[in-house]
Amino acid sequence: MPACATASERPHRARRRLARGLAFVLALPCAAIHAQQPGLRDAIANALVVPTEHGFEAFAWEQEPEIVALYFGADWCGPCHAFVPELRRIRAALRDAGADTEVVYVSLDESEPEMRRYMRLQRMPWPAVDFRRLRVLPAVTRLAGPAPPNLVVLDRDGRVLASGWQGRRYLGLEPVLRTWIDALGTSAPDVASPPSPPLPVPLQETRR
């Protein structure tokens, strides 16, 4: 699944967003990003919401899942829209097989109403991190990578098991999906092979 090169859609907004994401990633060494992060899972659990008819309401786990897959996406991102049906399919297959897992959406939308629209349009059956809380949750937002879509798999201790981004390098979402399946030790659903993504706009420009 390609990462969003959104400069042609919303040039100024996209460049600012990509620059912020890149700064988050480059501020930490790769080893730090993939190390255990105490408190990360609790921070996520305490900030969950689900969309309602007119807004959002707080959500609490009945039983917190062993493995959480953070999905970073946005309504303005075409490849994100293409990826969500595959994410829904794999999540459903894993849970039907008895896997103790859930997806959590982390919004890169421009506003809370756009986040709600995207979740409802894509019929996301999972909760999201409260849009208003993201600015005080840097441990979550710095996992987004330079551009969406991204998927980050976390174990119960807050350790990152897989991410579509490794520093400036986009590894793609297929390896993350396979790590997610393997970590749950269940029968693997078919995982489509997403095409190689284009480089995000800021990185393309630096190589000219």
Query: Could you read off the pLDDT of 183-193 as tens digits, one per residue?
Result: 998 766 666 54
Number of H helices, E strands in the chain: 8, 9
Q: Tell me if 109 is assigned to some domain.
A: yes
Residue 62 maps to which CATH number?
3.40.30.10
Q: Is the pLDDT of residue 7 over 50?
A: no
Note whether 131 and 112 are within 8 A (CB). Answer: yes
**Segments forming the whole domain that contains residue 168:** 6-203
pLDDT over 80 at 205, yes or no: no
Please say if the pLDDT value at position 137 is more than 80. Answer: yes
For residue 47, tell me if it sits in a domain.
Answer: yes
Question: Would you state the structure tokens that stand for residue 196, as one six-digit string?
Answer: 């190689």
10 compared with 41, residue with greater pLDDT: 41
Q: Which pLDDT score is estimated for 201?
A: 40
Residue 36 lies in a domain: yes
**Domain annotation covers residue 1:** no
Per-residue pLDDT tens over the stretch 74-83: 999 999 999 9
Residues in CB range of 16: below 8 A, 6 or more apart: none
Given pLDDT bands bounded at 50, 70 and 90, which one contains residue 11? very low
Q: Looking at the domain assignment, is residue 208 inside a domain?
A: no
Residues in the chain, overall count: 208
Q: What is the DSSP letter of 148?
A: S
Mean pLDDT computed over 93-100:
92
Q: What is the pTM of this model?
A: 0.78
What the block records as the tokens of 154 is 């976390």
Which pLDDT score is estimated for 194?
A: 47
Number of domains in the chain: 1
